[in-house]
Amino acid sequence: MTQKLKEEIIATAIYYGRDLNPQVLGMMVDDLSDLDASACIQAYRSYRRNPKNRTFPLPAQIREIVAPDQHIDAEALAREVAARIVGAVTKFGWPNGRAAREFIGEEGWRIVELQGGWSHICENLGVTIPPSTFQAQVRDQLAANFRYGADAIDRRITDGSVPTQRVGELERPSLTGRREE
């Protein structure tokens, strides 16, 4: 099947008036090697049929056609998760935190914990917390986490010197009366 993919890439290059040397062709095939070859061949055909496409595609463009879920940008993902958090309040309510967590996902649930926890959000959203403001703030937080990673942000905030305490974690009691780190 790899040979058929090579042939399709070469044919597409010729179609767009481009010559490929063997090294570049090898790199292109390598860039697509983790995807199903027949899906890649179909993506090349689909790409050619799109009137908006006027240049030879990069493998990244073919990857996006074959596996669009791997190319969702941080902002789109953040909007969806923020909407799920707000929607989960009425959909599941405070007694169904486990179901809400599954619906929201782990990245979103981390934000729920940072915002005071599930019961706090359920009790206060629409009462003392304006829903649209909350959703916008959560969306921005999520976008940063998706773009840079929550752990990278934690390291930057703590300057990498002290791990941040997660919500729900207990601190070690101190024998001297001072907080131990």
Q: Give the chain as a 3 state SS string.
A: CHHHHHHHHHHHHHHCCCCCCHHHHHHHHHHHCCCCHHHHHHHHHHHHHCCCCCCCCCHHHHHHHHCHHHHCCHHHHHHHHHHHHHHHHHHHCHHHHHHHHHHHCHHHHHHHHHCCCHHHHHHHECCCECHHHHHHHHHHHHHHHHHHCHHHHHHHHCCCCCCCCCCCCCCCCCCCCCCCC
Q: What is the chain's pLDDT, residue by residue, as a tens digit (181 residues)?
A: 789 999 999 999 999 999 999 999 999 999 999 999 999 999 999 999 999 999 999 999 999 999 998 888 899 999 999 999 999 999 999 999 999 999 999 999 999 999 999 999 999 999 999 999 999 999 999 999 999 988 888 888 887 665 555 555 555 555 555 554 4
pTM of this structure: 0.65
What's residue 181's pLDDT?
47
